[in-house]
Structure 1
């Protein structure tokens, strides 16, 4: 992941996970890249199980110690807010499927920060799509 992806963006961390929704759930996810976080592949398994179940609005999911509730679902991405945030302004996450990857973008703040984080995610998606073509 290039440094320019996080530079100037309100993201506190980002992960790019290899993701095959048709593969067996016992296979551990592979973290292709990460910045601003220190997760291991095994830490992400419950999250990937949650995504594969595709029951996004019915359950709470965890990434590390943070628990999230989905607030918005779109065709290839969804947003969630942290329900046990330590930051008084709140925390959120944007998850976008880009080909065989899941981009997990963690941000701090509220509506303005979420909008800025989405712009950063969109820019990264464009960069990733250019590299893969």
Structure 2
């Protein structure tokens, strides 16, 4: 299993720092190249530059009253969620993300995380063995 990750192109985990403007201030964000590539894919779906995507995410976090103490960790999680939602078929393969029905996606995500529910056991307690 480890070879799958160890023998990947080392350029994927090379750190890259990019200058961005958040809340009207210039700052820099340092992420691995892999995450920058995913952010580029996310931004492209809505016709945004990566800088504009980051500014929008930061603005929406601020307006939601969320704690943005570690914005780079938030960005890594955004990338992971994007890839996970795609892999599970909860995001369309193309098109703007901004116009999606977020509530429907979150509901479907919650249902899929729960997995199949166990069948109700009629007249027996869980763990009880059926009569032979």
Please say whether Structure 1 and Structure 2 have the same fold, judged by a TM-score greater than 0.5.
no
TM (norm. structure 2) is: 0.28
If each structure's helix is expressed as a fraction of its own residues, which one has the higher value? Answer: 2
If each structure's strand is expressed as a fraction of its own residues, which one has the higher value? Answer: 1
